[in-house]
Amino acid sequence: MRLFKLTVATIFRRKAWAICLFAVLFLPFVLPLISSASEKPVLLQPARIQAAWGTLFICTMFWGFFAAARLGESNTRSGTGEYFRTTGLTATRQLFEIWLAIFVYIVPLAFAAAAVCLLGAMPSESSEKAMWLTLNFQYLSLFLLVFAPLLALATALASRFGGITGFVVTFFVTLYGLYGVGYLDNMLKLEANSALQTLWLYSPQYRFADLTQRLYFKTGALTGEVFSNMVLYFTAILAVNTGISRLCFRTSSNA
C-alpha cells in the first residue's frame, strides 16, 4: 500500500480537506443565523439540514473531484505510475489505492454532515428519533455509494485525458444525474420524444440518492424494500463506472 500512503500524505499536506471539514461542521450553524431562518426558530433545524448536506455535496463535487483528477494526472505525468508499475503494482491496484486515499477523506466529511443532522437537528419527539437515525443512515449510505465510483472515474479520466477533462466530465455527469434528469423528466411529461426517452432511461438517476427533502419535511425513512432497490440500482451504476474507470486509467503517458 505504498502508493496509498503516498497519496494520503500528499492530500494531507495540501490541507484543503481541513477547509472542507470545517465548512461541513460549522457552516450549518453559521449560515442559518445570517439568513431569514434566524427570524423563525422553527426554521433553524431545516436550514441546518440543507446547509450540512449542501456543503457536503459542494465540497465533494469541487474539492473531491478536483483532487481525484489532479492525482490521476500527476500519477501518469510525473512517472510515479510507471515507477510503481516496475515494482509489480498493476494499473488496477494503482487506481484502487489512489481512489482509496481520496475516499478516506470523503468518508469523514459524510459522517460529519450526518452528525450535524443528528446533533443539531434531531426531532424533539421521541417517536421520531428512531426514524431520524434510520433516514440519516440511509442518506449516508446512498451518498457514499454514489460518489465512490465517481471519484474513481475522475481519477481515471484525468490519467488519460488530463486533469481538466477528468474534473469537468465527472462534475457534469454528477450534476446531470442530480438535477438534469429531473428537468428531462419534466420535458418528457409535457411532450413525448423517443430519443429523449431513451436518454432518460439510461441516465444515472443520482437524484434518488438526495434525501434532503425527506429530512427537511420529516417524511420518514425509506422502506426496506425501496432502500434495497436503490442500493441495488446504484451498485449496478458503480459496476459500470468501475469498468469505465479501469478501461480509461493508465499509469504512464506512453501506455
Residue 7 has pLDDT above 70, yes or no: yes
What single letter denotes the amino acid at residue 112?
A
Q: How far is CA 52 from the centre of its chain?
A: 14
Query: Residue 17 is inside which H or E element, if any?
Result: helix 16-30
Confidence band for 189, pLDDT divided at 50, 70 and 90: confident
CA atoms within 13 A on the CB side of 224: 0
Query: Residue 224 is inside which H or E element, if any?
Result: helix 224-248
The distance in angstroms from the start CA to the end CA of the chain is: 22
Residue-wise pLDDT for 157-175, tens only, equals: 999 999 999 999 999 999 9
Residue-wise pLDDT for 190-227, tens only, equals: 888 899 999 999 999 999 999 999 998 888 899 999 99
What 8-state DSSP symbol labels residue 202? T
Confidence band for 239, pLDDT divided at 50, 70 and 90: very high
- The number of residues making up the chain comes to 255
What are the φ and ψ backbone dihedral angles of 228, each rounded to 5 degrees? Answer: -65, -40
pLDDT the model gives residue 229: 97
Find where cell 455509494 sits: 145
DSSP character string of 95-149 = HHHHHHHHHHHHHHHHHHHHHHHHHHS--SSHHHHHHHHHHHHHHHHHHHHHHHH
Residue range 11-39: average pLDDT? Answer: 88
Which three cell numbers, joined as nine digits, stand for 38?
434566524
Q: What is the mean pLDDT of the chain?
A: 93
Residue 37 has pLDDT above 70, yes or no: no
Residue-wise pLDDT for 99-119, tens only, equals: 999 999 999 999 999 999 999
Instruction: Provide the residue ranges of all domains of the chain, joining segments of one domain with +.
Output: 2-248
